Amino acid sequence: MKTQQKQQRYEEPTFDLQKDEKELVDELAERQAKKFPYPRLKSTQLRKFFGEVKDLYRRLTQGQDYEKQIEPEFKMLRSKVYYAHRKSGEDRVPREFVDFIDNGVKTVKNKEDFEKFVRHFEAVVGFWYGKYGK
């Protein structure tokens, strides 16, 4: 029962490929950033995961193959965020952030989806630092 109550507390992440890209980088990104609880989400954790995504994007723009070289590492982010959450707990990697990464990775099905997620994540980070974070 306690687990059910805890799961119901969280809202769904905002990354949704059915939404217009303008909305993904504006209203939805701002809503997502507001969901990350400050000071529980540590900026080091946010930078770590965003840095990994941006590095994968940089490699993609330099010509690496999405399916063979980028996608496998991108899919690994799910296990990494769950590990970080378990290791450091709600004090550094709150469930809302885990859900955001988990949903994003599961939603991305191809190179174009990945590029949309990168832009959405970048906007989320900007809003979090600018309005809700440190």
DSSP 3-state of 134: coil
pLDDT for residue 86: 93
pLDDT score, position 44: 93
Give the per-residue pLDDT at 1.
Answer: 42
Phi-psi region of 89 (alpha: psi -120 to 50; beta: other; left: phi over 0): left
Q: What angle do CA 27, 28, 31 make, to 5 degrees?
A: 90
User: Which residues does 102 contact at the CB level (< 8 Å), separation at least 6?
Assistant: 13, 78, 81, 82
pTM above 0.85, yes or no: yes
Question: Terminal CA-to-CA distance of the chain, rounded, Å?
Answer: 34
For position 90, what pLDDT does the model report? 81
10-residue averages of pLDDT along the chain (134 residues): 48 93 97 92 95 98 98 98 90 93 98 98 97 82
pLDDT reported for residue 10: 59
